Structure 1
Amino acid sequence: MAKPNKKGPSRTVDVFCAKCKAQLFKYRKGGKGALIKCFKERIVEDNTKIPCTCPECGQIFARDTLVRGAPAFKMVGGKVTFK
């Protein structure tokens, strides 16, 4: 399968923890659907100290996986919100 576009979309969204509302990262998201996965190469600004864990409350919000041969975070349903 094809790898995701490295440059990606120009629209950035802020991703927050659903529990404590701490900002996790800024992400270049394409489309208008839900946030299911985040490709690591599209993350603009990362505020997490430990990958996939909220820096404020310590909640695990994603799993580290490979999607179409590219490293990505697969979001756990209901653990993150974005604007």
Structure 2
Amino acid sequence: MAKPNKKGPTQTVEIACAKCRTLLFKYRKGGKGALIKCFKERIVTDYTHTPCTCPQCDQIFARDTLVRGAPAFKFVGGKVTMK
């Protein structure tokens, strides 16, 4: 399978914790669909201290996986919101 485009889209979105509204990532997202996964190479700014854990409420919001051969975070349903 093909890897995701490294340059990726130019539009950035802010990903926040759904429980405490703490900002987690600034991410270059492509398309209009729901937020299911987040490729690590497209993360512009990372506000988390430990991977996949909210820095404020310590809730686990994602799993560390490989998607199409590229490292990514796969989000748990309902744990994150996108602005």
Amino acid at match of 1:28: R
Aligned to 2:15: 15
Identity, % of aligned positions: 81
Give the deviation of 1:57 after TM superposition.
0.2
CA distance in 2, matches of 1:50, 1:21: 17
Give the deviation of 1:43 after TM superposition.
0.2
Aligned to 2:6: 6
Give the deviation of 1:67 after TM superposition.
0.1
Q: Where in structure 1 do 4 or more consecutive aligned residues deviate above 4 Å? A: none
Indicate the RMSD between aligned Cα atoms, in angstroms.
0.3
CA distance in 2, matches of 1:34, 1:21: 18
Amino acid at match of 1:35: L
Give the deviation of 1:52 after TM superposition.
0.2
- Note the 1:1-80 alignment, pairs <5 A: 1-80=1-80
Give the deviation of 1:69 after TM superposition.
0.1
Normalised by the length of structure 2, the TM-score is: 0.99
CA distance in 2, matches of 1:76, 1:33: 16
Task: Mark the runs of 5 or more structure 2 residues left unpaired by the alignment.
Answer: none
SS of the counterpart of 1:41?
Answer: helix
Give the deviation of 1:19 after TM superposition.
0.1
Amino acid at match of 1:50: T
